[in-house]
A and B are shown apart, each in its own frame.
Chain A
Amino acid sequence: MNLKLRVWRQRSAAEKGKMVTYQVADVSPDMSFLEMLDVLNEQLILDGEDPVSFDHDCREGICGSCGVMINGRAHGNGLFDSHPQTATCQLHMRSFKDGDTIDVEPWRATAFPLIKDLAVDRSALDRIIQAGGYISAPTGTAPEAHSILVAKKDSDAAFDAATCIGCGACVAACPNASSMLFTSSKVVHLGLMPQGQPERDDRVVNMIHQQDLEGFGGCTNIGECSASCPKGISMENISRLNHDLLGALRAGARPKS
C-alpha cells in the first residue's frame, strides 16, 4: 500500500506546529498503525530528518500509552464499521485503502500539554487517580478471598469500569475536552466493591475537584467519549459518578485542597 500521511509536527510546546505531508510506500496491510509510523520514521532518519515522536509501549492494546487522532477520530475508532474499538496500536493498516490520505494529530486539551509532535503529557490523569482512585487496606497476611462477598452484577459492572486503560481518548474525542468517562470509570470500579466503601464519598468529591483543577471541561453527556473508547466504557459510569457525587455532597463531603 502507498499512503499519504499528514502528520502534526511541533518541536515543542513553545513553538508553533503544523501539518506536514509525507508519502509512505510499501506499507503491508498486516502492519499496525504504529508499525506504519515506524516505517515513516526509519525513512525520515535515513533522510536525515527528525523522526515523528509518539507514545507507545505494549503495542497489545492494554497499556494505554499510545493514542493519536486518526482522520479526526481518537485511535481511529468510529471510522471503520468492521473494526472493533481498539487502541491505536491494534488498528491495522488493512483498515485503510491504497492511496488513502491519513491525518494524524495529537490529543488536544489544555490538560494534556504537548511534549513533541504526537506525544502529550497525560500525567493529569495520574493526578486525578492520586486524588482518590485508591483504597486503604491493611497490609500483612492477605485475608481469605471469600470472606467478603460481592454480587455478580456489581463485580461485572466494576470489572467493566476497571478495563479503562487511561489512554485519554475520551478527553481527546470530547467536544468539551472533559475527562468524565475516565474519572467515572475509576470512581465506579472502586465504588461498586466492598473494599471501596470507606472512601467512597471522599473519592468522588476529590477526583472531580482534581479534574476541574487540571483544566478539563465539563461533561454534557454527548457520548463521543464512549464511541471512541478502546474499551467501550459505558456512559452509565458517568451517571453513577453523578449519583455518588450528589450523595457525597449531601453527606457533607468536601474536597480537600
Chain B
Amino acid sequence: MTVTHSGQRRTPKAAKTSSVFKKVVMAVSGIILVLYLVAHMVGNLKLFAGAETFNGYSEWIRRIGEPAVPGQTVLWIIRLVLLVAVAAHIWAAISLWRQAKRARPQQYVARKQVAQSYASRTMRWGGVILGLFIVYHILDLTLGVANPAGHDATPYDRAIAGFSNPFVTLVYVVALLALGFHLRHGVWSATQTLGQSNKTRERTVNAFATVFAVVLTAGFLIPPLSVLVGIIE
C-alpha cells in the first residue's frame, strides 16, 4: 500500500484575495475599457467626415465641460479612469496567470483540447500584444512622437500620414484582430464571472460576444484600411 507522505501536502499560504474576486476585477475593468472602445470606434469613423470635422471633434474632446471646469479636465478624468482600469486588468491577469502556472507545474505528455476556442487560448498572450500595441498607439497618434507627420500636425494629418504607410497599417490590423479575439472571449467570460449567465442565456451571450467583437473590430479596421487604399486622403 502506498501512503501519501505528509511532505506531499502543501502548507496552505494565506490567500489574500480570492481568485474569483480577481476575476471580478478583470471583468469590471474590462467593461470600462470596452465602453471606452465603443466611443473610440465611433469617433474614428469621423475620419470620413473630413479634416475639419475630425479635428473639430478632437478639439471638442479637450473642451468637454468648459467653461464649468478648466480645459482638458474631463479628458484627464477619462485618461485616469482608463489608466486605473488597465492597471487593474493587468494586475488581475498576471496574478491569475501565475496562479495557473503554479497549479500545474508538470505538463501532460499528450494533450488534446476539445472545447477551448482560439480566442480563449490566446487571451493571455493576446493581452500582452494589446498592451504593447497601446503603448505604440499612444506614441503614434496621441503624442505623435512615433508618427511620420510629427507632434505638431493636426490629428487628421497624423492619421493620414501614419496609415498611408502599409507597415503601420499592418501593425494596427494585427493588433485589432488580437483585440477582436480578446473581446470574443472577454465578453463571454465577464458575463460568466459576474454571474449573469445560465444555460438558457449561454447561446445568446456567446452569439452576442461574437457579433460585438466582429462589429467593433470592423469599425476600428475601416478607417486605417480606407486611408491605405486611398478612400480617405
Contact = CB atoms under 8 A, between A and B. Distances in A.
B103 A177 contact: yes
Interface of B is mostly: loop
Contacts of B199: 234, 236
B18 A223 contact: no
A228 B19 CA distance: 22
Interface in A179-235: 205, 208-209, 211-224, 226-228, 234-235
Interface stretch (B20-28, B63-71, B145-153): B20-28
B116 A221 contact: no
A71 B15 contact: no
Interface residues of B, number: 52
B103 A105 contact: no
A239 B196 contact: yes
Interface stretch (A27-35, A38-46, A144-152, A241-249): A241-249
A219 B19 contact: yes
A69 B108 contact: yes
Contacts of B107: 108
B231 interface: no
A165 interface: no
- Of A121, A175, A215, A239, which is in contact with the most chain B CB atoms at under 10 Å from its CB? A239
Interface stretch (B3-11, B82-90, B163-171, B214-222): B3-11
A252 B12 CA distance: 24
Given A178-B19, A228-B114, A228-B115, 13 more contacts: A12-B2, A72-B110, A119-B2, A208-B19, A218-B99, A221-B120, A221-B185, A224-B116, A234-B199, A238-B192, A239-B198, A242-B192, A243-B195
Interface of B: 2, 4-5, 8-10, 12-15, 18-24, 96, 99-100, 102-117, 120-121, 123, 185, 188-189, 191-199, 202
Q: What are the 10 closest A-B residue pairs judged by CB atoms, nearest first?
A: A243-B195, A217-B103, A218-B19, A72-B112, A227-B115, A78-B114, A177-B103, A213-B12, A176-B100, A217-B100
